[in-house]
Each structure stands twice: as C-alpha cells, then as structure tokens.
Amino acid sequence: MGGHATDHGLDDLAATARAALVRAIEASGAWDSAPVWRDAFESVPRHLFVPYYYAGTVSGYERRWGDDPARGRRETWLRGAYADAPLATRMRDGELLSSSSQPSLMATMLVALDVRDGDAVLEIGAGTGYNAALLAHRLGDALVTSVDLDPEITEAARRHLAAAGHRPTVVTGDGARGCPERAPFDRIIATCTLGSIPRAWLPQCRPGARILAPFATGIVVLRVRDAGHAEGRFLHTSAYFVPLRGGAPPGPEPSDRELDALPRGAGRNELFRFLLALTAGTLAVDEAYAIWEREERPQRERYGITVDDGRAWAWLDDPGGPYTWPLP
C-alpha cells in the first residue's frame, strides 16, 4: 500500500503533522519574502514521498515504514515524515545514497531560486521527488524537469509524484551533463553538493537564468550572463548534501591533527571549515586560518564564485581579488 496515511486511517494525524511542519518552516523565516511557497508545503503531502526512511539509533539505523503492521509504529513513521529534518531514504553498506532534505532548508533554497510564472526549471538530483512536486505545484508539471543518475531513484520518484498527482519529467541521466533535450532553462537547482560548476549547465540556460547549488558547505546562487559566464554569492545558511555522482569529487579534507593545532578551536568552527572546503587543495590550513582571522572571520555571504569561459574561481568580497582561489 506504499505507506499512504489514508490506507491506515491516519488522515487526521497526517493533516495535523503537515500543518505543524508548515508552522515550523514559517517560524524559521524561510519564506518571509515569498509566502507563495507556503501553499506548496501545505498542499504537497511529504509522507507520500517517504514510504520508508532510516532513523538513527544508538546501534545504527532503524527502518521506519508506512506499511508497518503495528499502528503505533505507523504513527511514528508518519510523525517523522513531517519532522523538519532530513530523512535518509536510501542506504547501501552503511553509506547514504539519497535523502529527503530538511524542509525548512528546501524552502530557503526554493525562495532563493526566485522562480516566476512560466519559468522552466531543471532539478539536479531527483531524490524522493518531493522537491520536484513542490516546484510542479508552483509552476505546473510541464515546466519541471528532474534528473538523477540512479534508475531506481528516478523510478521511485515517478511513483511518488504520481501518487501525489504530479507528473513532471523525470529523466535518468548524469546530472553533471544537465538535460539538453529539455533546455533551455530559466532556473537550475541542485539538491546535491557540487565539486565544480558543470560546464554543460551554462549553455542550457537562458541569459539571466539563475543556478542555485550546494557547494562546499554552503549554497551558491549564480546569475547566468551567457553560455560562458555566470557569477554570484553564497547564501548565509550552511548546507550538507550527498555529493553529485558523475561530477567532480570534493577536494581533500585536512587531517584532525592539522585542525586541532589551530588556536581557539578554529578547526571546529563552521565558518572556518567552509573556507577550507571552498579552497580545498589550494590553501594550506595555516594559510586559510591567517586569511580568516585577518578578514575578521567572514560570513558566507562575503564569498562568491565566478565562471568565465571555462575558468572558475571562488573569491572573498571581490571576484577580481585580492583573495581568489581556482576551482576544478
């Protein structure tokens, strides 16, 4: 029965839990500037997209599912489906392969994507299909394309979307290559962490398009000028996603010994770790620390990325320097 709340007479609990999730997202301030997304989160039932998920326990992971024979455990599954938290949905040998992102972070990203009526959107990383459903609710099925490398993930996403009454285009393919057969796009949103900005994306965008993607441990928003140039800054929020399969791998991470040698616990500071992730392979830890202290521990919004005719670099404050670092 696929874990549908209506199968088990849990309609009221699902409605109550979804309303509580919407209040939690609202309290986070995610859509202060774009309340149109409130209707999407109120209307799209998240539990249809997570018929099962894995919850962390002291001994590892526990599988929770909507067809559990015990009503109490079905209720636990349903409440968890509407928690403002990421949900692990696919694992293999203890490795997380796919997840449903934290809804308040999804809302923050969708607001920053700044879609307008008539915009064609490409989503990189289909996941459960929930994010595609939110986009389809806002724009209509015909304007939303979602691509994922794993055929099991895309097939499951199609089933979940159909159960929720949506049928956007879901493509099995390498997200790093975009989806040229559905181009051009006005917006590209990635739900996986990038190690580089894929070159194939820019030519598939209309001039003025927006690309929003997790990068390092933040989220960058790029404005596309043309097929060879895009530039933009990071949002204020942190973000941790599964890496894009098929894309460039993330850079090397410093050792615990190097981090622990830094003064005042800097090696465990989230903003410093962001700088390390952004400049991986180009700055030694002590060099990064010197810049970080000299620039008064900059927030994420001071950093940006520029792509220009095949070159790409990260920067602090100004794409022309003095602090710039090449990207893969």
Give the residue numbers marked as catalytic: 98
Backbone angles phi, psi at 315, to 5 degrees: -150, 160
Q: Which residue has the tokens 């796009």?
A: 185
State how far the Cα of 12 lies from the Cα of 279, in Å rounded to an integer.
Answer: 49
CA distances from 167 to 96, 118, 182, 188, 210 (A): 27, 17, 15, 18, 24
Q: Which residue has the tokens 């990189």?
A: 124
Q: Which residue has the tokens 């992971």?
A: 61
- Helix (H) / strand (E) containing 116: none
Q: Strand 205-215's sheet: what is its strand order?
A: 169-172, 144-148, 121-124, 185-190, 205-215, 218-226, 229-234, 303-308, 311-316, 324-326
Q: Looking at this protein, which amino acid is placed at residue 251?
A: G
Task: Return the closest-CA partner of residue 101 out of 130, 79, 74.
Answer: 130
Give the DSSP letter string of 194-255: BSS--TTTGGGEEEEEEEEEEETTEEEEEEEEETTEEEEEE-SS----PBPTTSPPPPPPPP
State how far the Cα of 132 lies from the Cα of 45, in Å rounded to an integer.
Answer: 13
Q: Are 297 and 288 in contact (CB under 8 A)?
A: no
State how far the Cα of 328 lies from the Cα of 325, in Å rounded to an integer.
Answer: 10
State how far the Cα of 11 lies from the Cα of 213, in Å rounded to an integer.
Answer: 35
